[in-house]
């Protein structure tokens, strides 16, 4: 430890995902580790038209400083989309445009967390949220989950027992890493409980619109009568991530605090990026884009699930998500996924060991697989390599069909 | 106070500048308040060429996630520029691209400041730094300054007397708000003192290349043998601010901490913005741009200084900066600049009261004027309105020529 630095820096370690991404830049490695959207679906030709249009229409204003809250037409589009598609009635004045939704998570930590405060989160939860919030030195209290979401009795027990709970951070749609969706019933009961306790909820929803089968379930924000849910959205999965544009939707008194914190953090989000996205949305059909994204991701999920059925041993379980980018595997308890990763890297395939997604450790027999970023054949080859590496670590058993969980 | 929030939020108030900018959006108001570069100099036509080139050359990779450290060709350009122009030998691996240099200030607070730690800064200092750092709940210790920079005996006294000094934050070139430049001798003595104390220095240098007369003075970073100076640079004043692209230059052990903190804060800076700036720098001549910027700003500074000579009373003083965007006025002690601002807004001219730039308050007879963002005639008209409002607040005296300080 180096006493030049703040104490918070003792808790910050290099993200496993980021370090892995470096190893996996060799083209022969099949990376099921990252969380990249399918780049071949990005509307590159359309963006050329958009870039020229923005500079024609706005001229130097596109390159100038702008307000912290965000570009008004973009705030209006987001508010309308949230109202119409998500059933969460939202005004443009309730939207703050952020530098990706990662910034919105960081600002949430800044707004709510003193050292030693408690954050409740799903177990497992998003690694990037753990990293962002850890800088504010909270205690992470994991709430067990099942296939329908956070287990409400477990949530209630922790809200009763743990002091200084300042925030509940959840990803109810196609969670990173598990791929799971909370059921409607579970969402309703969750909102009853948090309303009773008056605790602030951050609902992180990067994948909500990337559903490729089944009926959408309304977000927590749509059931929020008390203004206690902060909704985080992003253009990273429905348009592209390279612009770093996301948003916070929150009731005015909360939003004003986010605006203040963002002013200090980076003044405002890129003017030209916001104008380009707003112009793209006005000139092109993002719903057509989304149909294509969903179709491609569904086929890739199918390819991954099909191969996992063949390759995983009988004691393993995996999720079969109805949307999003990730699938979650639980291996037999005796298999350590970090050790498996070492063997896999030798065979030219990478994934993220699941232990990284539990802020308090454990669960070393789990792993997260990404299925959005490459064609089916490459996914299948990656899973076959993973299966081979795994079989070396297990006592020999006949391979059999696995049921999805 | 609302106990849902972290304690740090009690100290965060809406920035006076930002609130003012809202009032001054009425076109009839002459705003000398903001800190906008001259938008008519932004290379809009060139950027059209660049935007197409980036999408042609990089295709979807321009729209995808990228590494936290930044786009390698841009890091290489920055390192070369720092080495060749600033005399601060820098490797590309010592550069982190940030979301504007405002983010780099925020990350500096996150890295170094625990609650109650001390930050030494110039008195006055940059308001955006006060706002960013205040979120980490430090004590601000102001070090008096004169026309050559921080007063070294005052710095030494504070380093000896104040405990837990974790950071010295300084803007040695054309400081915001004072417009002053530290002399070479002052820089050398400053570096001797901070080296002896082993304290980390953040050298914020947004205006260093916007010098329109006199010889450049080397940055503190160029005299940093011990790797204790963190240099913050930006494209906001030499290219345009709307992209929100800046950088940190620091020795590797320090830079790695900044990279970690940035991962949690927003993953990385916009891929496409970084590629566009790098492509612009390779296709066009930024030094020609800079010559134009300097020429225009010099004429505007002259117009402002000329009019201030005529309008200010004998007891007032103002700086005549050799670069940057701002000029600093000290009014007679009995004039309150916030009250003057109220009168000025009625006359359709705005500025920033200087008290905002002193983290511990006081100095209410000072004000900051921006001269970069509008033509000479409008600047002159703004200063005349200010002079009229000011004369209403003073006992009648004959107007006389003022000397610049």
- pLDDT for B1 equals 56
Same domain, A33 and A95: no
Both structure tokens of A89: 């009635």
pLDDT band at A15; cut points 50, 70, 90: low
Note the ipTM here.
0.95
- pTM of the predicted structure, to 2 decimals: 0.95
Longest dimension (CA), chain B: 67
Residue B103: which domain range? Answer: 44-283
- Report how far Cα B374 is from the mean position of its chain's Cα atoms: 19
A314 and B CB contact within 8 Å: no
* Residue B403 pLDDT > 70: no
B398: in domain = no
Calculate ∠ Cα A256-B357-B155, nearest 5°: 130
Closest CA in chain A for residue B199 = A4
Is the same domain home to A122 and A260?
yes
Q: Does A7 touch chain B (CB under 8 A)?
A: yes
Same domain membership, residue B325 and residue B265: no
How far separated are the first and last CA of chain B, in Å rounded? 43
**Residue B51 DSSP SS3:** helix
Nearest to A344 by CA among A386, A374, A285: A386
| Alpha helices for A3-43 (secondary structure H) | 16-23
Average pLDDT over chain A reads: 94
**How much is the pLDDT for B8?**
93
Is residue B286 predicted with pLDDT exceeding 90?
yes
Domain count, chain B: 2
List the A139-146 sheet strands across, edge first.
Answer: A95-98, A246-249, A229-234, A200-204, A165-170, A118-123, A139-146, A149-150
- Within B312-394, residue ranges assigned H as helices are 337-346, 376-393
Q: Residues B41-58: what's their mean pLDDT? A: 98
User: How confident is the model over B105-126, as pLDDT tens digits?
Assistant: 999 999 999 999 999 999 999 9
pLDDT at res. B3: 86
Same domain, A271 and A166: yes
Asked if the model's pLDDT at residue A357 lies above 80, the reply is yes
- Residues B40-66: what's their mean pLDDT? 98
- For residue B13, pLDDT beyond 80: no
pLDDT digit string, tens, across residues A83-135: 999 999 999 999 999 999 999 999 999 999 999 999 999 999 999 999 999 99
Domain of A152: which CATH number? 3.40.640.10
Tokens for B259, please give them: 């990279």
Average pLDDT over residues A330-359: 94
If asked whether residues B23 and B159 sit together in one domain, one would say no
Give me the CATH number covering residue A339.
3.90.1150.10
Name the domain boundary from A283, A312, A335: A283
Nearest-CA distance B25 → chain A (Å): 11
State both tokens at A339.
């050790």
Q: Could you tell me if B102 and B116 are in contact, meaning their C-beta atoms sit under 8 angstroms apart?
A: no
Looking at the fold, whether A138 and A170 belong to one and the same domain comes out as yes
- What is the tens place of the pLDDT at every residue in B129-167? 999 999 999 999 999 999 999 999 999 999 999 999 999
Q: Residue B396: pLDDT above 90?
A: no
Mutate to test the interface with B, among A1, A2, A3, A6 (most CBs of B within 10 A): A6
Q: Is residue B105 part of a domain?
A: yes
Tell me the mean pLDDT in the region A260-282. 97
Interhelix angle B286-311/B376-393, rounded to 10 degrees, is: 30
Separation CA B119–CA B125 (nearest Å) = 12
d(CA B221, CA B204): 10
Pull the structure tokens for residue A170: 């959840």
C-beta of residue B262 within 8 angstroms of C-beta of residue B268: yes
A402 found inside a domain: no
| Residues A13 and A27 grouped into a single domain | yes
Least Cα separation, residue B27 to chain A (angstroms): 15
DSSP B99-139: SHHHHHHHHHHHHH--TT-EEEEEES--HHHHHHHHTT-PE
In this structure, the strands spanning B30-31 and B349-350 are: parallel
Give counts: helices (H), strands (E), chain A. Answer: 12, 14
In this predicted structure, what is the pLDDT of residue B12? 82
DSSP state of A357: G
Mean pLDDT of B41-57: 98
Q: What is the mean pLDDT of residues B75-95?
A: 96
Are A263 and A158 part of one and the same domain? yes
Closest approach of chain B CAs to the CA of A142, in angstroms? 20
In this model, does residue A76 exceed pLDDT 70?
yes
On whether both A51 and A32 belong to a single domain, the answer is no
Last residue of a domain, one of A283, A302, A337: A283
Q: Is A21 on the interface with B (CB under 8 A)?
A: yes
Q: What is the pLDDT of residue A399?
A: 53
Question: Tens digit of pLDDT for each residue in A156-167?
Answer: 999 999 999 999
pLDDT over 90 at B22, yes or no = no
Q: What is the pLDDT of residue B295?
A: 98
Whether residue B2 lies inside any domain: the answer is: no
Which of A283, A307, A322 lies at the terminal end of a domain, its last residue? A283
B202 domain residue, yes or no: yes
d(CA B142, CA A196): 46
Burial of A381 (0-12, 13-18, 19+ CB in 10 A): middle
DSSP summary character for residue B92: G
Q: What percentage of chain B has pLDDT greater than the value 90?
A: 91
Q: Say if residue A129 is in the same domain as residue A156.
A: yes
Q: Is the pLDDT of residue B282 over 90?
A: yes
Same domain, A247 and A376: no
Verify that B29 and B171 share a domain, yes or no: no
Is position B402 within any domain?
Answer: no
A74-78, A182-186, B34-38: segment of lowest average pLDDT = B34-38
Q: Within chain B, how many helices (H) and strands (E) appear?
A: 12, 14
pLDDT bin (cut points 50, 70, 90) of residue A14 is confident
CA B224-B226-B231 angle, to 5 degrees, is: 45
Whether B403 is in a domain gets the answer no
Report DSSP letters for A83-109, one per residue.
HHHS-----GGGEEEESHHHHHHHHHH
Does residue A177 sit within a domain? yes
Contact at 8 Å (CB) between B63 and A44? yes
């Amino acid at each position: 430890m180096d006493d030049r630095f703040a104490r918070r820096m003792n808790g910050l370690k290099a993200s496993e995902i980021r370090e892995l991404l470096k190893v996996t830049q060799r083209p022969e490695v099949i990376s099921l580790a990252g969380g990249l959207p399918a780049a071949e679906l990005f509307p590159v030709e359309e963006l050329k038209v958009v870039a020229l249009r923005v500079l024609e229409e706005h001229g130097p204003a596109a390159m100038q400083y702008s307000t912290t809250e965000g570009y008004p037409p973009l705030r209006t589009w987001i508010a309308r989309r949230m109202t119409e598609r998500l059933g969460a009635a939202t005004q443009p004045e309730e939207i703050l445009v952020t530098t990706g939704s990662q910034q919105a998570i960081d600002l949430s930590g800044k707004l709510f967390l003193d050292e030693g405060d408690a954050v409740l989160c799903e177990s497992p939860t998003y690694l990037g949220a753990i990293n962002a919030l850890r800088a504010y030195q909270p205690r992470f209290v994991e709430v067990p989950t099942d296939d329908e979401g956070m287990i409400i009795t477990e949530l209630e027990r922790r809200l009763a027992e743990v002091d200084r709970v300042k925030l509940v951070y959840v990803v109810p749609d196609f969670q990173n890493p598990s791929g799971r969706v909370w059921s409607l019933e579970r969402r309703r009961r969750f909102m009853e409980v948090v309303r009773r306790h008056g605790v602030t909820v951050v609902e992180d929803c990067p994948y909500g619109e990337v559903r490729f089968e089944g009926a959408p379930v309304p977000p927590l924000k749509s059931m929020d009568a008390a203004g206690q849910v902060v909704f985080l959205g992003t253009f990273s999965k429905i348009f592209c991530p390279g612009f770093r544009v996301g948003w916070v939707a929150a009731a005015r008194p909360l939003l004003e605090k986010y605006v203040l914190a963002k002013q200090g953090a980076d003044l405002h989000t890129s003017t030209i990026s916001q104008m380009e996205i707003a112009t793209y949305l006005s000139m092109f059909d993002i719903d057509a884009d989304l149909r294509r994204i969903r179709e491609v991701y569904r086929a890739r999920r199918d390819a991954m699930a099909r191969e996992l059925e063949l390759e995983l041993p009988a004691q393993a379980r995996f999720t079969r998500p109805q949307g999003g980018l990730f699938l979650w595997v639980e291996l037999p308890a005796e298999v350590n996924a970090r050790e498996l990763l070492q063997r896999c890297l030798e065979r030219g395939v990478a994934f993220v060991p699941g232990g990284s997604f539990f802020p308090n450790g454990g669960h070393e027999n789990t792993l997260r697989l990404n299925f959005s970023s490459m064609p089916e054949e490459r996914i299948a080859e990656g899973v076959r390599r993973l299966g081979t590496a795994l079989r070396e670590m297990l006592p020999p058993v006949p391979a059999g069909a696995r049921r999805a969980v």
